[in-house]
Structure 1
């Protein structure tokens, strides 16, 4: 995360990028990441290890690592103690970071679903909310931001067939709430690439499939939504590893994040080499996929066939 090496932290020497903290609309997840990045910069600049930092706040070095990666909420007392350890004495700077700590601890709307929301998915929803650009590739299902309620329910039931109906409906509600992201005033640009297989392998019957196709045609009228379909006739493509999502944030100090969802967990990649690899694959997918107009024609053809 853009670590600055070699400078001493303190009133006269501050890590680069100090002023590029995130805005108030970013949400708690990105605020935690921004705070963690700042704390890591100060620790590196002071030449201290995670173990040395952990000793000051009576924690483990793994907790310091989680704090610096934005994976856990920071306590103001811990942040204050760490800033003192790192030699940050400027009151304005300390106040700014402590205010960021307070903002990062405010629950996101999705935390009302904590009873059904695994930690690895909670992190993704927070990043999704804060992103300015979301690019995704899906090969088996329509992306969650584009699903109808009935389609979402059918997909959720595949892996939750024995769950109580109340739990299933809460999962559906969570997915529908996420979709508000696309129509809010500061909506991100969403660019989805779908394999044709995702359209020809419906999770439920004809009525659900028709409604989903109609919904895709409607939602692609939004100026911030682009949908491309990779037809079977395009042949092999480079996304052999499966679906992935790339999130970009408006804050210049935050790196792009690649999200890889697995059966019961997820990976988050933010190292430059990893991100560049997935960006190259995404760009190649967009070249091989039908353009927006041709993709809409494919949807209309499928709708007639269904």
Structure 2
């Protein structure tokens, strides 16, 4: 395998054969962006590539955005077209690894629907997670008791499904314990702390957990002060800092989610999160407020 430099100066793909921590979801994105870089370096349009592959331009777009799995036959045709046959072995091996199931997929679609499956895979491979919540404590910061109360209040589910949802949520939190843990920056709207999810005892434990987590070096928690007007829906921005991958903005609604990765879209949300952080109490002030709320719940 020849480690030929990427046309845009990205590290050679070979490094992703040995580096840990890259989920199938992120590997698919990396491969897609590599293929786009090679196509553009070869000065081949998406339309011309689609004609050679006998597919639609939309398929080329999905492949290059990491939204569709890569087949070895398509990989061979594309690399030959782009004059990059020397990468065939590496790309095919990474494509095989990108099809491996993530640990979370064993829970099945009843517990983790396809639209959320992608988010978990992206979150697992991210370097920075910025989130703004208006209804609930972010899932990565929830206690077991709080998560159980949230699961009970969602769509109708059996006791076993509720147990599995809570287990999944708690296991997702393991990524914050990794040596290469991402940085989590959470801004909470004021009503999140006033909503007694699960009752006073559960909420007191949740508040105390936020205080504890806020002291970790890779976690920053801020709360908007009372009366501060903010947008009415949650948003999460994921940053990868690998291979030139774009930021991804995740917008969830009751029956699905939207994923945005165009710079003009994600840039607006990044500025919005910056503004919210400026309006919010500082991390130290937030801890002080959390301690006050915990005392009130005693």
Assess same fold via TM > 0.5: yes
What are the residue-to-residue correspondences of 1:144-159 with 2, within 5 Å?
Answer: 144-159=139-154
CA distance in 2, matches of 1:99, 1:17: 22
* 1:17 is the counterpart of 2:13: no
Correspondence 1:290 to 2:281: yes
1:198 Cα deviation after fit = 0.4
Cα shift at 1:49 = 5.0
TM-score of the superposed pair, with normalisation by structure 2: 0.89
**Is this contact kept in 1: 2:248–2:266, CA < 8 A?**
yes
Question: Given the alignment, which residue of 275, 297, 302 partners 2:266?
Answer: 275
SS for the counterpart of 2:84 is coil
Structure 2 CA distance for aligned equivalents of residues 201 and 73 of structure 1: 42
Match of 1:174 in 2: 168
Would the aligned equivalents of 1:20 and 1:253 in 2 still touch at CA under 8 Å?
no
Asked whether 1:106 is paired with 2:100, we answer yes
Q: What is the deviation of 1:65?
A: 2.7
SS at the partner of 1:207?
Answer: helix
Find the aligned partners of 2:6 and 2:128 in 1 and give their Cα distance. 30
Aligned with 2:68: secondary structure? coil
Structure 2 contact 10–243 (Cα < 8 Å) conserved: no
Equivalences, count: 289
Shift of 1:85: 2.7
SS of residue matched to 2:236? strand
Tell me the TM-score normalized by structure 1.
Answer: 0.87
Moved more, 115-124 or 188-197: 115-124
Aligned-pair CA distance for 1:284: 1.3
* 1:92-241 correspondence runs (5 A): 93-115=87-109, 116-160=111-155, 162-233=156-227, 235-236=228-229, 239-241=230-232
- The SS at the match of 2:32 is helix
Q: Which residue of 1 aligns with 2:70?
A: 74
Structure 1 unaligned regions, length at least 5: 1-11
Map Cα deviations across residues 224-250 of structure 1 (whole Å, 9 max, x no partner): 1111111114x32xx425211111113
In structure 2, the gaps of 5 or more residues are none
Range moving further from structure 2, 202-211 or 122-131: 202-211
1:133 Cα deviation (Å)? 1.0
Q: 1:34 to 1:114 in 2, by over 3 A?
A: same
- In structure 2, what is the Cα distance between the partners aligned to 1:13 and 1:244? 36
Q: Is the 8 A contact 1:20 1:252 kept in 2?
A: no
Shift of 1:60: 4.7
1:157 and 1:288, CA in 2 relative to 1: closer, same or farther beyond 3 A? same
How far apart in 1 are the matches of 2:102 and 2:167?
15
